[in-house]
């Protein structure tokens, strides 16, 4: 049923972000994305922050994400952008992290796991800058 999601991209995070962006632009209630561990960790952070309503594994290849919209139809994921890409990894130190724009939410992949920028600052940790919300 969801075989079209499998094997289409060498970069699972980019495929995940593209699916989310397209669903938000079209005001979909839910979206089905290919399963990957990094996508799972990112979704846990989105759920913790209240950016999505819920998510669940449909089978071993797919994750179903229920999107959350405001009363006027806006979604906080509308400005989701990938920073560190497969061909160009972007690592950030603690000093650079403290100087980032506080208005945006940055998601980092650190030695402690997937963290928001404010969590990484509390733990005095830098890492790979995955995406900005």
> What CATH number should be reported for the domain holding residue 127?
3.30.1490.10
The CATH number covering residue 23 comes to: 3.30.1370.30
User: Which pTM was predicted?
Assistant: 0.86
- Sequence-distant (6+) residues with CB within 8 A of 91 are 84, 126, 127, 128, 129
Q: What residue numbers bound the domain in which 15 lies?
A: 3-72
Predicted confidence (pLDDT) at residue 104 exceeds the cutoff of 70: yes
- pLDDT tier at 60, thresholds 50, 70, 90: confident
Number of domains in the chain: 2
pLDDT tens digits along 108-130: 999 999 999 999 999 999 999 99
Tell me what the pLDDT averaged over the chain comes to: 88
At residue 78, the pLDDT reads: 80
- Sequence-distant (6+) residues with CB within 8 A of 10 are 86
């Amino acid at each position: 049923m969801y075989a079209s999601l499998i094997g289409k991209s060498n970069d699972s995070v980019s495929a995940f972000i593209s699916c989310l962006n397209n669903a938000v632009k079209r005001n979909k209630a839910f979206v089905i994305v290919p399963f990957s561990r990094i996508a799972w960790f990112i979704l846990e952070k989105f759920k913790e922050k209240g950016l999505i309503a819920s998510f669940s594994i449909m089978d071993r290849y797919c994750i179903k994400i229920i999107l959350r919209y405001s009363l006027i139809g806006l979604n906080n994921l509308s400005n989701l952008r990938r920073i560190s890409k497969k061909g160009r990894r972007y690592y950030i130190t603690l000093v650079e992290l403290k100087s980032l724009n506080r208005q945006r939410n940055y998601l980092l992949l650190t030695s402690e796991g997937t963290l928001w920028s404010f969590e990484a600052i509390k733990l005095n940790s830098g890492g790979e800058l995955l995406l900005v919300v």
